[in-house]
Structure 1
């Protein structure tokens, strides 16, 4: 049986990084004390201690000698590109590594996988979550992480540049995953999994869920599953290949998020079916307004979001024109139409054509669409568009009526929280969202 791996987590990238060490860390011979500032000078890392001593190096590792040692990073940006983006001081156990990355200093935390998960599950989920939901999430997070590490090794050994953009005449298709991380395994923000070290309280329930599932992962066809999750699928989950790279995973396909199969025959890839589905509120696990259940999944700053199963956003012509120009860097002129071109199994748009008085372009996939139509991220790409108040054939108002929150692939967090409250165990929750996967204990 394998040993628990050490995970390299990219925490922050800045021109200057202030940090403090607590405990018995190994220091370079020239340095002493507990407070330091790292700066990038002449393509070299310069570290200055509180007594003014300085060293320069291409990379530096501050190694811990005890499981209780920790370091503090000042002004870490969290929620990057989201509506709640902010900075906060964060504390981590394990080693601290500083490297140079794309003209900035990168702080990396080296930490055992199960210790990493304690923070991830405590950060992603509330301590009020049901034990079965926490266990399911522990298995998913562990599986996803190990699958990404294996995928990175495969990409690097292939010695080929990973492509995440397809561009042809009149069309720009781009997907966002974590293949751009080459100096570490995962980042600490929502781009990968939210990891805050021991900054926030590590809940006893989260620790118990991790201990109860230690080393357990989802597997399919003799490989660890690239398990995914989002906040709310909107009633039907999406296929992996419609959101990320065009690779089919049998365990990441359409799942009707319900005890009933009322929508199994509905093909949400068809525009009329998608329109009808989105404009109504069908029964689903994730169709809930129960605040106790929602508080298990949504952190304090997200609980103000009341409408996520079905939602609406309205833009004037001027607002939408300015927004799309700002987010895409393209001047489309006046926006004449937002035209759905292709949808996935959950009605999420894979391709959207922006028709302007100066330019027409089809964009995708779902996150590219969400970024183009919102100052942060549109809740999802599962939406229909009403073009209102036409003047000389040009709409003066656009109403987006949407479904779900997030990419919708894999486990639906709110749906899983409802399942946990209904008495489903974590194996049943995983079986519901990952239909072609099995549980396996690795270590």
Structure 2
């Protein structure tokens, strides 16, 4: 069986410029196109070459050699490394008139998609073991999402991504925006930056040598998550997304041996986060870090343990702007629930005017930062208290990302130590097995 295909949502814009580097066919009228093109979004329609369309599909005349280029693609949207770059893609180009602009979708073979993902999510010169491990989990995650989308669509039921009451908002970000394509191209799903992201023979070999391999648990494709740095202990799925427990995503100490503290307890979480325990992902070796961190990722120097400081005025303004609520002066931030890595999944904000509870981890990170906090595994110190009002808040935190599944920096260290790709997968996905899906 050949590699299946995937529909990737690249971005939504009101005007796009793109270039067909070889011949493409407009499937609407059979016209062959090559070179620079432009499309505009006006009154809910796409204007292309003087005609109005609701959708357009451009297919490559020769898939193996054809590519197209999108100009000024935004990457890292809403994260602190957000920027624009030109990107080149294989496969077909689908333009769809959406509510807010032209939805740009790239359809290509899964194995070609993975070649870009591996090179986008990390340095293409990473160790062979890490590249192969990441190929398996990226393929598994993708196919699991496609299967999940089909199941939800077939059930015709509403997929819930939040729980909202007068005093609480618990929200998780998973697939709620992805009804018109399988996955997006940014960090919300997996970084996919086209074939413009330089690959290497090692990446191609890792994809080929694991061709069709996926992780399964009880013969079901694993929802194989990953993040940059777990901070020494991995998180469990239900604390970040829908309240479903997956055994293969159960808590794991990021070390070959070592104690496993109960970081759901506030006292133990505080001691853990304020300490600097040995872990695979505790490293400052530049040769290992460059395997995982691309140039803009290396703008984040401290991630295993980090600190963020806010004045009262800064934090009060930030929370009011991000939530749309008037809290007045912030009196306290109280963790109500922590996951297995110490990441806060429910946080109470107490202000002079009102109190409110937020969750899960990404919502907490979004509200307490201009972009996103590195993680929600943090403890809060209130300083310079005047008439019960803290004048400064210090967040001391651990890790980078949600911490579920494979820890990319920890896996890079394991690969450097000589662990094989299946040993890395066994460490981060207990109970899962590698199977050939095609």
**Equivalent residues in 2 for 1:44-443, closer than 5 Å:** 44-48=45-49, 54-66=50-62, 67-261=64-258, 263-264=259-260, 266-443=261-438
Which whole-Å CA distance do the structure 1 matches of 2:11 and 2:339 have between them?
34
Cα offset for 1:29?
A: 4.9
Q: Which runs of 4+ in 1 moved over 4 A?
A: 29-33
How many residue pairs get aligned? The number is 435
Which whole-Å CA distance do the structure 1 matches of 2:98 and 2:325 have between them?
29
Which whole-Å CA distance do the structure 2 matches of 1:42 and 1:125 have between them?
40
Larger mean CA deviation between 373-382 and 163-172 belongs to: 163-172
Residue deviations 1:140-183 (CA, integer Å, cap 9, x gap): 00000000000001111111111111012421111111232011
Larger mean CA deviation between 116-125 and 30-39 belongs to: 30-39
Whether the 8 Å CA contact 2:379–2:396 is kept in 1: the answer is yes
| RMSD between aligned residues | 1.2
Cα offset for 1:65?
A: 1.7
Which whole-Å CA distance do the structure 2 matches of 1:299 and 1:104 have between them?
30
Unaligned runs of 5+ in 2: none
Cα offset for 1:56?
A: 1.9
Whether the 8 Å CA contact 1:143–1:227 is kept in 2: the answer is yes
Whether the 8 Å CA contact 2:25–2:31 is kept in 1: the answer is no
Cα offset for 1:33?
A: 4.8
Whether the 8 Å CA contact 1:18–1:37 is kept in 2: the answer is yes
Residue deviations 1:287-309 (CA, integer Å, cap 9, x gap): 11111101100111121322111
Which whole-Å CA distance do the structure 1 matches of 2:142 and 2:30 have between them?
35
- 1:24 and 2:20 aligned: no
Cα offset for 1:330?
A: 1.2
Residue deviations 1:353-373 (CA, integer Å, cap 9, x gap): 000001100110000100111
Q: 3-state DSSP class of the match of 1:25?
A: strand
**TM-score scaled by length of structure 1:** 0.96
Which whole-Å CA distance do the structure 2 matches of 1:303 and 1:6 have between them?
32
Unaligned runs of 5+ in 1: 49-53
Which whole-Å CA distance do the structure 2 matches of 1:150 and 1:33 have between them?
35
Which whole-Å CA distance do the structure 1 matches of 2:282 and 2:33 have between them?
56
Matched with 1:51 is none
Whether the 8 Å CA contact 2:22–2:34 is kept in 1: the answer is no
Whether the 8 Å CA contact 1:152–1:179 is kept in 2: the answer is no
Whether the 8 Å CA contact 2:9–2:182 is kept in 1: the answer is yes
Which whole-Å CA distance do the structure 1 matches of 2:51 and 2:266 have between them?
62
Which whole-Å CA distance do the structure 2 matches of 1:99 and 1:302 have between them?
32
Which whole-Å CA distance do the structure 1 matches of 2:199 and 2:424 have between them?
23
Residue deviations 1:44-102 (CA, integer Å, cap 9, x gap): 21112xxxxx2222111111121111111111111100111111111111111111122
Q: 3-state DSSP class of the match of 1:303?
A: helix
Larger mean CA deviation between 14-23 and 425-434 belongs to: 14-23
Cα offset for 1:386?
A: 0.3
Whether the 8 Å CA contact 1:31–1:55 is kept in 2: the answer is no
Cα offset for 1:198?
A: 1.2
- 1:35 and 2:36 aligned: yes
Larger mean CA deviation between 405-414 and 199-208 belongs to: 199-208
Larger mean CA deviation between 112-121 and 191-200 belongs to: 191-200
Which whole-Å CA distance do the structure 2 matches of 1:436 and 1:168 have between them?
37
